[in-house]
Amino acid sequence: MRISELSHVSGVPVATIKYYIREGLLPAGQPVTRTLADYREQHVHRLRLIRALIEVGELSVAATSEIMRKLDEPGAVMHDVLGAAHHALAGPARRDDSQDADEFTTAQRVVDDLVAARHWAVSSTAPARRRLARAIATLREFGLASDSNSLAPYAAAAETLAAHEVNTVPAGPRDVAAWHVVLGTVLYEPVLTALRLLAQEAASARRFGAAEGT
């Protein structure tokens, strides 16, 4: 198909498609003439994945490009593709500057305790450790419960979900499985956070709803 049709099918403007090709996120089309190129179904799939990561996962073009490179590596094992996606999703620090170094160290110890208590095999450099430590330091800053015991219910819920998610990744070709891992990591997060809000409202109605009048 022509680039105009690719744009129509994928919902991505032609200028953006050309930008993605220049940045190496998308392979160039097969040249037909000096000014025309032919695009295939694989371009449509790739563009959908890029849109999901950028529009839904709110990843930068650079971070998305990093994941695409890992996906295209012939020898990359699945665990590394997942690692690349996590690395990008856990993202750069946002509140590190405003947080006290001692407080951050204390929060990192809580993360270590949690990971050890659940017997999770997690790389010591996993960016999600930093992300969790930042969230815990913020809890501490506001005086909310943040020790390893208080967070155990969250860890237990995350563990049950993650086991389910990883076990339902299709066993087929590596690129299909990788596609599921990357997309699933990004797209089920808003499902989980929205469900938490709905479940909170239901729990609040039970505890505070009709009974409370003051």
Using CB under 8 A as the binding rule, the residues of this chain from 63 to 92 that contact a second copy are: 77-79, 82-83, 86, 89-90
What part of residues 158-187 is at the interface with a second copy (CB under 8 A)? 158-169, 174, 180-181, 183-185, 187
Minimum distance from residue 59 beta carbon to a second copy (Å): 14
Structure tokens at 46: 């790739």
Interface residue with a second copy among 1, 61, 118, 147 (CB under 8 A) is: 118
Q: In 3-state terms, what secondary structure has residue 37?
A: strand
Minimum distance from residue 61 beta carbon to a second copy (Å): 19
Stretch that binds a second copy, among 2-10, 16-24, 63-71, 191-199 (CB under 8 A): 191-199
If one asks whether residue 200 binds a second copy (CB under 8 A), the answer comes out as yes
- The H or E element containing residue 177 is helix 174-204
Residues 6+ apart with CB under 8 A from 182: 49, 53, 67, 71, 81, 82, 85
Q: Which is nearer to a second copy, 37 or 76 (CB)?
A: 76
Contact 87, 51 (CB under 8 A): no
Q: What share of the chain is helix, strand, coil (3-state, %, to 5)?
A: 70, 0, 30
Q: How many residues bind a second copy (CB under 8 A)?
A: 84
